[in-house]
Amino acid sequence: MSTETTHVGEALSEETRARIQRRTVLVLMLAQVVGGVGMGAMLAVGALIALDLSGSDTWSGMATTMITLGAAVFALPLASLAARHGRRPGLALGWVLGAVGGTTVIAATVLETFALFLVGMVFVGAGTATNLQSRHAAADLASEATRGRDLSVVVWATAVGSVAGPNLIGPSGRFAAGLGLPELLGPVVFTTAGFVLGAILIFALLRPDPLRTATAELARSGAPAGVRLSVTGALRMVGRSPGALLAIVGIVASHTVMVAIMTMTPVHMSHHGAALTVIGLTISLHIAGMYGLSPVVGWLTDRFGRIPVLLTGQVILLVATAVSGTAGHDEVLVTTGLVLLGLGWSFGLVAGTALLAESLSADVRPRVQGVSDLTMNLGGAAAGALSGVVLSQAGFGGLNLFAALFTVPVFVLAVRALSVRSRSTSTTS
């Protein structure tokens, strides 16, 4: 009998559960590291490749838009696959689809076919969806006291590959040139290889499957093992939970603000004469802000509560838009704003994910988590699509002001959630 079958079929002691959770987090971290290689660089060069192929600033924003749209397209199918068969097949398939996307982008760039490039970037988005869903896998067997820490450590692991990625633009460009490819394709080659390795790691090592193990534990407790929800049904369930609604809106807002500004920063800097290496460093530091302090954010989330940390993230995002929006041609201020932008995203994602997990029963979490990632990436895709238009019409300062408006609903819903929680506490006391 396999190890996975044994753990799924038998009751787990606390020691065994903790051991499986440690192994799960370690495997997810390894996959995040290799899957993240090149992704940061992909963000930096994607807009530039799109600019070369399309010849338009407005269309250059479609590179990130297609990635985020792809992440939205694949979020629900991958979550549904996980709900039926476990995290392992869902995550492995996501990395494979991302590799297909990277291969398509390479072919499209060589053939100078912009439409095929956009299709490839949609499939690259499957890698982003997988990257995001890994944090949910880290929460499957986590205790309430450590959920923020466990998922934040997996989020942090992405930084190891992603932060190095933009600084690999030069070396990877020379590698691509040695293969007879355009230099901008260097990061794409690295990204594709990382996706393949991530799929191999997940498929071979994520045993026992954390979601199947958690579902089996739920069934043994006498609770329903799972509920099949449509997108509409999941949204209705979220609407009935002030905490879940705040969590999803907070995640979506944080991601939308980040994508809107980050997408156009390379183009903005390029227009003002910034060297490609400087652009790469700026994106690298931005990704460091996104992932580098996520374990600290996870600790703060467990220590001080999900809602306070989520709101802190929105404040940081507002400061980031103010700094970036008033930076003008100052590369240091633009970079500072982008670092703060990444940090605010981290606060929103980690705290929002933990709040969502604790606001719903275990039997419906996978489906609703898929809907959360779907809406998050739809928001990012819309922001990416509009960012080029807003930049061309209102400038970089106007783009930052536009992005800042998305934080407003989070503060409004936080007041509602805290009010409901306060009334509930008063009633039970």
Summarised one tens digit per residue, pLDDT across range 80-127 is: 898 888 999 999 999 999 999 999 999 999 999 999 999 999 999 999
DSSP class of residue 272 equals T
Q: How far is CA 163 from CA 156, 289, 331, in A?
A: 11, 9, 19
- In whole angstroms, give the CA distance from residue 217 to residue 8: 8
Q: Of 96-105, 153-162, 250-259, where does mean pLDDT reach its minimum? A: 153-162
Banded model confidence at residue 341, pLDDT cuts 50, 70, 90: very high
For residues 224 and 401, the model is more confident at 401
- In whole angstroms, give the CA distance from residue 364 to residue 352: 17
Look-up: residue for tokens 């990395």?
95
User: CA torsion angle for 375, 381, 385, 390 (degrees, to 10)?
Assistant: 60
The number of beta carbons lying within 10 Å of the beta carbon of residue 80 is: 16
Q: Counting Cβ atoms within 10 Å, is residue 20 exposed (0-12), middle (13-18) or buried (19+)?
A: buried
Q: What is the pLDDT of residue 228?
A: 62
User: CA torsion angle for 342, 346, 198, 67 (degrees, to 10)?
Assistant: -60
Phi, psi dihedrals of residue 237, rounded to the nearest 5° = -65, -40
- Please say if the pLDDT value at position 365 is more than 80: no
Which segment, 48-52, 210-214, 339-343, 383-387, is predicted with the most confidence on average? 339-343
> Do 255 and 348 contact (CB within 8 A), yes or no?
yes
Q: What single-letter amino acid sits at 243?
A: G
Nearest of 247, 252, 261 to residue 339 by alpha carbon: 261
